[in-house]
Amino acid sequence: MEDTFRFHDRRASIRVKAEYPALCTRFDNVGRQRDQRISHSINVSLGGARFHSNFPVNTGEVLDITLALKDNLVTFKAEVIYVTPFEGQGFAFGVSFIDSKPQDRINLNQFIYHFQGPIER
């Protein structure tokens, strides 16, 4: 019997390469703004994104992320799903979007489907 490898992509939407600046706002344990740091997106989808930063974040941490996509700023509340070292410089972290304004979802949707770069699977 021959072994076969089956790739299963858990993502529910297209993820596109998108390298844009983002402002990540962190909060303390009572919900007060703790700090804001600049990071850069690596890729985005309708459900989440991957970022590169020089500051650490924690898995499970909730961030407000404002992402500059072309001519629009989109803001999302996002939960950090994973954190890994990034090519010896800083960190890469993946987030799942958990809340946003309707117009920000529309702008992100338009960006992905009208300005998409290479699709990542």
pLDDT score of 49 more than 80: yes
Instruction: Answer whether residue 89 is part of any domain.
Output: yes
pLDDT score of 4 more than 50: no
Residues of the domain holding 56: 15-116
How much is the pLDDT for 70? 81
What's the total number of domains in the chain?
1
pLDDT score of 50 more than 90: yes
**Taking residues 22-37, what's their average pLDDT?**
91
Full-model pTM:
0.81
Residues contacting residue 96 through CB under 8 Å, at least 6 positions apart: 47, 48, 78, 79, 81
**Tens of pLDDT along 56-110?**
899 999 999 999 988 889 999 999 999 999 987 899 999 999 999 999 999 999 8
Instruction: Answer whether residue 44 is part of any domain.
Output: yes
Nearest residue to 104 via CA among 57, 68, 56: 68
Instruction: Answer whether residue 1 is part of any domain.
Output: no
| Burial (CB count <10 Å: 0-12, 13-18, 19+), residue 22 | buried
What's the CATH number where 74 sits? 2.40.10.220
pLDDT score of 1 more than 70: no
* Residue 9, both tokens: 């992509």
